[in-house]
Amino acid sequence: MGDLPTLKDLDISNKKVLVRVDLDVDLNDKHKDYRLEVLTPTLNYLKEKSAKIILMGHKGRPGGKVVDSLSTKPFEKYFSKWNVQVLENLRFDPRERKNDSEFAKELASKADVFVNEAFATAHREHASIVGVPKILPSAFGLHFEKEVENLSKISKDPDRPLLYIISGIKKDKVEMIKKLESKADKILVGGRLPDYMGDNTKSVRSFGKDEKIIIGNLVMDKEDITVNTIEIFKSEIKKAKTIVLAGVLGKYEDEGHRQGTKAIFEAVSVSSAFRVVGGGDSLTAIQMFGLIDKFDWVSVGGGAMIEFLISGTLPAIEALKS
């Protein structure tokens, strides 16, 4: 990770270590625990060094208010074998999202050093992410380090053709597609995004062979891509040497709208390209389809992954650099 501070650079023996983690998962859903599993190497390392571990993170969007159903306290049981303390949901306090310096000081006062192991929120300029490292000696966790290492292969010098498959329901991905256009050789667009991109009456069949962005057609209820779109997308996947898959192609949790996501994810999984997948729903889908071991890198970030691939850095990285 070049000049970025890593966990092994920090003196953490017998110290209180405040670790920013990603707790925005459903503890009761067996398909949504990957973001917790990746914390194991860092937690094991801290335990070996006899560190006192304090975890902090957020869950959901409580809007700066206490919402009991979004408490992060139940995670203490999940992490009990490391004997950790888990702070209450950071977003119960409106100062977290405002990057309030007093809130950052309050958090920092709980520990001797800070470790960021929350890649999925590394694109947010929040107090726990960019405020705390201004106060405490800081480093990245072991998984965060691997995220940067693997994604840098794509941001710096990818094997081409470089194909992005961007889907999901978040409108802000439309802006991301525009920013990725200069970097990608081809971008395939699915999910609800075609609906946000203007008049989508043009069939995927009529896109020219040199068209960089191919916008998929949606079925009547707009909850999946059409069979014809699946075939066009699969033909592009076969040509690619590097593939970034970000977002699901339809309402995959509903069996009647799973076809697009399953077909495209499986096509990517058997490709000989360097294959990267990221984002919350994407993680759930690859676990559901049993494909988690078929990718070269599985990123816990969706928005953070794309932001890093666009700019080569993130607010969390800049905060620790400085």
- Structural domain harbouring 222: 150-311
pTM of the model: 0.91
Phi, psi of 39 (to 5 degrees): -80, -15
H runs (alpha helix) in the chain: 34-37, 40-48, 75-78, 94-97, 101-108, 142-156, 172-180, 193-196, 227-239, 259-269, 280-288, 303-311, 315-321
| Domain annotation covers residue 1 | no
Note whether 218 and 138 are same-domain residues: no
| Domain annotation covers residue 2 | no
Note whether 138 and 183 are same-domain residues: no
CB-based contact 246:280 (threshold 8 Å): no
Give dist(CA 174, CA 282) in Å, integer. 17
* CATH number of residue 179's parent domain: 3.40.50.1260
Note whether 52 and 86 are same-domain residues: yes
Note whether 295 and 166 are same-domain residues: yes
For 211, residues 6+ apart whose C-beta sits below 8 A from its C-beta are none
| Domain annotation covers residue 286 | yes
Note whether 91 and 166 are same-domain residues: no
Q: Which two tokens stand for residue 287?
A: 């676990």
User: Could you state, in chain order, the average pLDDT of each consecutive group of 10 residues for the chain (322 residues)?
Assistant: 80 96 87 85 97 97 96 95 97 98 98 97 97 97 96 93 94 90 94 82 60 91 94 96 96 94 97 94 92 95 94 95 78
Q: Name 6's bridge partners.
A: 140
Give dist(CA 197, CA 185) in Å, integer. 19
Q: Check residue 47 and report its DSSP letter.
A: H
DSSP codes, 180-196: HTTT-SEEEE-TTHHHH
